[in-house]
Amino acid sequence: MTNSAATNSATLQRAIANAISFNMSARGRVALPGVQGAVEPYAKRLERLFAGLGKPFSAKELVTLCENLAKSLERAAQQDSPTQLLVSYEPASFPRQGLVYGVQVVKTEAPINALLAQGQLILPCVPALCDAYLKQLTSLFAGLTYPLNEEQIDRLRQMLQRELDKGFLLSPQSRIRVVYGTGTPPQTGLNCKVSVATRSLSEQARDILAKTPDYLAKLPSLTKVSDVGESIDPSDSTALVATVGTAQHALPLARRGFTVEAFELATPFAQKLRDMAESDNLAISVAAEDILDPLVSLKPNYYRLAVVSEVASRLRDSDALKALLSKLANALVPGGTLLLNLFLADEGMEFDRGVLEAARAANSTIVTRSQLEEILTDIPLTPTDETPVLEYERQHRPEDAPKLDSWYLRWAAGQQVFAMSNPPISLHWLTLERVGEAEAESSEPVQL
């Protein structure tokens, strides 16, 4: 990683680590012997546990924890049978961050003299962070009174690397699930399993619609899309829209008068959009297809406008971006407009493998300006405008327009990759014009 004038490597690495911690998820429980007077050692142990889970206590939260432990241990002392403190924790409800926990006093048949634990940790699937994850887990297990020896550490490293590589290949948005637990007395030791956890876009979309049936109707349109659509005569014009949640842009363009062809990756969203278009009698056709799939073809020399949003952020690398832009250029009529957003790096920034993997895991594939310039030299698309998405919204968004979600603001600012106030990347709109003559279609027969 090379430095920009304003940001050094160490600062960026800390920002990435903080973003990874922000996106971790943990749940589990710890059982401690109900020993009166153990507030201080138990508080220190739980403080280390939560720090190992990537969700450390603040000073105020630590005071509250001590108060809760003191009250619970006092109740335990009043029992006429052996007891244990059961501390359970889970992710805080949105929009809060960190963990929420509860402390219970539980009677046991016999006294326990060891810490018992069960839990799971969900981590972003970033293969380059294997050693960082290993360090976190070994520290976590040591805090649970189960330190690993060298052989166990090596075995855990191999499991982690294997599953990280497999998950990242399957999808950079996969997660790694680490499930661990202590043996039930008289068994001793700690069991640990590492696996890949995935949820497809269609599964996520199905869950969203089950919880919020009018989700697509409420998706706020982005101002740049509306403004570009207003600048083009919709009569006899077909617009291509490709994203996840295409209703966000397909509906406003169709209401403006465009005939819209939507490519929607999430099947439940595709069906919902079909229903909405039919209900409102809008000229929208919907294909539940991934426009990035090489086998998904577009009509050549056909579209007057193409809006491709939150697609380039899922690309593997600059070669994949070049293939996408070539496909779109061939589909546009000469003079046609392509509006596409992608994460552009600040001028002069280059990144190492770890940063690029972390970006892909956050659905924020990074494109440097030198890469973009090189790609466009071979494609008949001429940039006519470039603007940061959030800056454009701040300057042009109507006052009565729905507010953008907080998660989108963080993501578009690049803060899902770099947890800092001014990340060296951000989501930009590129407006490009199709130049030159349309490629003639061959009339020669093709052998099948």
CATH code, domain with 320: 3.40.50.150
pLDDT at 448: 47
The parent domain of residue 194 ranges over 118-198
Domain edge (last residue) among 113, 128, 160: 113
- Residue 63 in any domain: the answer is yes
Say whether both 282 and 207 belong to one domain.
yes
Tell me whether residue 330 is in a domain: yes
Same domain, 169 and 233: no
* Residue 293 half-sphere exposure toward CB, CA atoms < 13 A: 11
Same domain, 411 and 285: yes
Which of 174, 198, 222 is a domain's end point? 198
In-domain check, residue 407: yes
3-class SS at 222? coil
Question: Which DSSP string do the residues of 6-49 spell out, in sequence order?
Answer: S--HHHHHHHHHHHHHHT-EEEEEEEEE--TT-HHHHHHHHHHH
The pLDDT of residue 138 is 93
Quote the DSSP letter at residue 151. H
Report if pTM > 0.95.
no
In order of 221, 252, 259, the CA distances from 255 in angstroms are: 13, 5, 9
- Tens digit of each residue's pLDDT, the chain (448 residues): 444 434 577 888 889 988 888 888 999 999 999 888 899 999 999 998 888 888 888 899 999 999 999 999 999 888 888 899 999 999 887 656 678 899 999 988 877 788 889 999 999 999 999 999 999 999 999 888 889 999 999 999 999 999 999 999 999 989 999 999 987 655 667 899 999 998 888 899 999 999 999 999 988 899 999 999 999 999 888 999 999 899 999 999 999 999 999 999 899 999 999 999 999 999 999 999 999 999 999 999 999 999 999 999 999 999 999 999 999 999 999 999 999 999 999 998 989 999 999 999 999 999 999 999 999 998 999 999 999 999 999 999 999 999 999 999 999 999 999 999 999 999 999 999 999 875 544 444 545 4
**What was the pLDDT predicted at 431?**
98
Last-in-domain residue among 149, 179, 198: 198
Do 86 and 194 fall into the same domain?
A: no
Q: How far is CA 101 from CA 28, 61, 63, 231, 296, in A?
A: 10, 11, 14, 53, 48
| Whether 185 and 260 share a structural domain | no
Which parts of 171-233 fold into alpha helices (H)?
201-211, 215-218, 223-230
Domain count, the chain: 3
2 within some domain = no
Between the CA of residue 115 and those of 83, 99, 111, 188, 217, what are the distances in Å? 13, 20, 12, 11, 50
On whether residue 14 sits in a domain, the answer given is no
11 part of a folded domain: no
In this structure, what CATH number is given to the domain that contains residue 53? 3.30.470
**Do residue 181 and residue 217 come from a single domain?**
no
Q: Where are the beta strands (DSSP E) in 37-136?
A: 83-91, 99-107, 116-124
Q: How far apart are CA 230 and CA 214, in angstroms?
A: 26
> For residues 354 and 357, what is the distance between their CA atoms, to the nearest angstrom?
5
Residues 334 and 232 in one domain: yes
Q: Classify residue 345: in a domain, yes or no.
A: yes
Q: Do 184 and 94 have their domain in common? A: no
- The verdict on residue 220 lying in a domain is yes
Extended strands (E) in 268-316: 284-287, 303-308
Instruction: Determine the Cα angle at 105 with ends 33 and 64, to 5°.
Output: 90
- Say what the pLDDT of residue 95 is: 58
Note whether 301 and 375 are same-domain residues: yes
Instruction: Please tell me the predicted confidence (pLDDT) of residue 327.
Output: 96
Do 327 and 404 share a domain, yes or no? yes
- Looking at the fold, whether 328 and 313 belong to one and the same domain comes out as yes
Indicate if 249 and 372 belong to the same structural domain: yes
